[in-house]
């Protein structure tokens, strides 16, 4: 798959995850049952995204012509460690932990886009 197509898919997934997180935040303040339902959907969406990103991130990192193989390996290892931490966070997501977990997840997505992905087109 071409790098541009991978990037577009990952950004689309991030955007969808952000919308789900916003919906979670709204529902947390209104309806615990509705929040629990959207949290379950968020968990599933994150797992799907995580698998795709884990399979694709090496391709994105290797497109940096100025990066050494060692640098790519270190960045990939750091990314995979962060992904494991995010998976743990998402699998334990509940109505109680959601407010702080959503802040962490949002920061994680922002950080990935700044460090792994090329800039978004204007």
In a domain, 74, yes or no: yes
Q: Report the pLDDT value the prediction gives residue 1, as an integer from 0 to 100.
A: 57
Domain extent for 70: 3-115
Backbone angles phi and psi of 75, in degrees to 5: -65, -40
Q: Find where tokens 């920061």 sit.
A: 107
In a domain, 75, yes or no: yes
What's the whole-number mean pLDDT along residues 20-49? 89
Q: What is the pTM for the complete model shown? A: 0.82
SS3 96: coil
In a domain, 120, yes or no: no
In a domain, 121, yes or no: no
Q: Report the pLDDT value the prediction gives residue 68, as an integer from 0 to 100.
A: 65
Task: Give exposure, 78-115, as e/b (b: 16+ Cβ within 10 Å).
Answer: ebeeebeebeebbeebeeeebeebbeebbebbeebbee
In a domain, 42, yes or no: yes
In a domain, 62, yes or no: yes
Tens of pLDDT along 54-112? 888 777 776 665 566 666 678 778 888 888 999 899 988 888 899 999 999 999 999 88
Half-sphere exposure of 112 (CA within 13 A, CB side): 26
| Range in 6-10, 35-39, 70-74, 87-91 the model is least confident about | 70-74
Q: Find where tokens 């935040």 sit.
A: 25
Q: How many domains does the chain have?
A: 1
What's the whole-number mean pLDDT along residues 11-24? 93
Q: How far apart are alpha carbons 49 and 55 in whole angstroms?
A: 10
**Domain at 24, CATH number:** 1.20.120
Half-sphere exposure of 35 (CA within 13 A, CB side): 18
Nearest C-alpha neighbor of 63 from the set 15, 120, 7, 122: 7
């Amino acid at each position: 798959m071409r790098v541009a197509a991978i990037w577009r898919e990952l950004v689309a997934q991030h955007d969808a995850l952000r919308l789900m997180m916003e919906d979670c935040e709204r529902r947390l303040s209104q309806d615990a049952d509705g929040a629990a339902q959207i949290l379950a959907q968020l968990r599933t969406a994150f797992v799907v995204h995580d698998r795709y990103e884990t399979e694709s991130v090496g391709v994105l990192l290797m497109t940096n012509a100025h990066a050494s193989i060692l640098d790519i390996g270190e960045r990939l290892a750091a990314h995979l460690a962060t992904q494991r931490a995010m998976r743990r966070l998402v699998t334990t997501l509940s109505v109680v932990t959601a407010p702080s977990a959503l802040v962490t997840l949002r920061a994680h997505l922002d950080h990935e886009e700044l460090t792994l992905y090329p800039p978004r087109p204007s």
